[in-house]
Amino acid sequence: MDAIRHALSITGSMTWEITWALILGFALSAVVQAVVRKSTIIRLLGDHRPRTLAVASALGAASSSCSYAAVALARSLFRKGADFTSAMAFEIASTNLVIELGVILALLMGWQFTAAEFVGGPIMIVVLALLFRFFLRDRLLSTARAQAERGVPGSMEGHAAMDMSVPGDGPFTRRLLSPAGFTATSHVFVMEWAAIIRDLVIGLLIAGAIAAWVPDSFWHAFFFAGHPLASKLWGPLIGPLVAMLSFVCSIGNVPLAVVLWQGGISFGGVVAFIFADLIILPILNIYRKYYGARMAAFLLATSYAAMVAAGYLVEFVFGGLGLIPDQRDAKIPMEGISWNYTSCLNIAFLLLAATLLVRFLRTGGLAMLRMMGGAPQAAHRGHDRRDHDHRDHDHQDHDA
C-alpha cells in the first residue's frame, strides 16, 4: 500500500503541475477551431507542394487533437479531397506541434524540450514528405484510397466528423465574441478534453508507477547512460519503440518522457519518443482499418524513420549549440499541492474551464458528446442539430 500511495502521490503532483497549461492550450485551440471551418482546411490541402505542407502544419498545430481524433480527421480530409501527404502533415502537427504540449514540456522538463518540439516537428514532416515522394507508389496510394472510401470505423469517428465552427460569415473577432462563438468554443473545448482524458490519465498513472517502482539503475543500463556516444546513437532508435509498447499517445506520453529523461535516455531519444504517439499499436491497427495492411506497414516504416531522423538532427543541433540541459537537474514533481504561482494559475484556469463546461451543458453538449466516438453520419446529424441550437440560443440571447 505504501508503494501504491507513493506512485499515486507522484501522479497527483504531476497532474497539479500541468493542469493550468492543459486548460490554456485547449482553450486557445478551441478559439481557433470555433472560427476555422474544415471545408477551408480541405480546400487548402489539395497538393503536397512545400507551401501546402507548411499550411497543413500550421492548420494542424492550430487544430490540436488527441492522436485518435487526429488520425480519424486526417482520413476524413483525405476522403474529401485533401492530398495524402498533406493530410499526414496535418495529422502530425495536430498532435506534436500544439501549444499545450510545448507548455507542458517547458513546465516538466525545461524550455529546451519545447524548442526541440518546434524544431523537430517540422524536420519530421519534411523527412516524411521526402520519403513519401521517393517511395509512395501510385498503386499503394490508390489501394489506400479505396480502403479509406469504405469508411471502416476506427476511433473518435464522430469527433473527427464534427465541424463545430461558427456558421455564417463575418470578421474573426465578431464571430468569436458572438453568443454562437462562445457556444462553439465551449463545445470544442469539452470535446477535446473528452478525447484526451483517457490517454492523459493512463500516461500519468504509468509515469507515476514507473517513477516510484522502477529503479534508476535499470534505465541507466537500458539507455547506456554511462556511455555518451552509445547513448546518443541508441536513444532515437529505442525511444519510438518504448512509446509503441506503452500504448500512451498524445500529451499522455509527456509524464513518461520525464521519467525516461531522468533515467538516462538521450535528448534526441526523448524527442523521438514524444513524436511516436502516432505509431503506438492501437493506432497502427486503426491505420490498417483505414488504409489497409500494406499502407499501415508503410506508415510505420516511414514514420519511424522520420522520428529517428528528427531525434538525431535535434541531438546534433542542440548539442552543437550547448542547449541540452543536464540530466542531473531533472526532477519529477513530488511536492504535491502548495500555495504558489501554480496554484493561482490552476484556480484561475479551472474557473475558466468551469465557465466553458456550464455553457457546454446548457447548449446541448451532452447529446453531441455521446456521439463523439460514433459513426461520421451520426456526427453530421448532431452537427445539424447544433447549428439549429446555435440559432435558437442566438435569438434567446438577442431577446434577453
Cα separations in angstroms, 144 against 91, 108, 139, 147, 295: 16, 39, 9, 5, 6
Question: Which three three-digit cell numbers place residue 150?
Answer: 469504405
The packing angle between helices 376-399 and 179-213, to 10°, is 130
Query: Rounded to the nearest 5 degrees, what angle is found at the Cα of 75, between the Cα atoms of 70 and 79?
Result: 145
- What is the rounded distance in angstroms from the CA atom of residue 177 to the CA atom of residue 190? 18
Q: Return the pLDDT at 45.
A: 87
Question: Which three three-digit cell numbers place residue 395?
Answer: 435569438
Q: Return the pLDDT at 93.
A: 92
Contacts of 37 by beta carbon, 8 Å cutoff, 6+ apart: 163, 165
- What is the rounded distance in angstroms from the CA atom of residue 104 to the CA atom of residue 4? 25
Q: 240 with 307: CB under 8 angstroms?
A: yes
Across the 400 residues of the chain, what is the mean pLDDT of every consecutive 10-residue run? 76 79 77 70 85 91 74 85 93 87 85 94 96 95 92 63 62 71 85 76 79 83 90 94 77 81 92 91 89 96 97 96 83 67 86 93 81 51 46 44
What confidence tens digit (pLDDT) does each residue in 123-162 have?
A: 999 999 999 999 999 999 999 999 988 877 766 555 555 6
Give the number of other CB atoms < 10 A from CB of residue 318: 21
CA 158 to chain centre: 17
Output the pTM of the full model: 0.77
Question: Which three three-digit cell numbers place residue 263?
Answer: 533515467
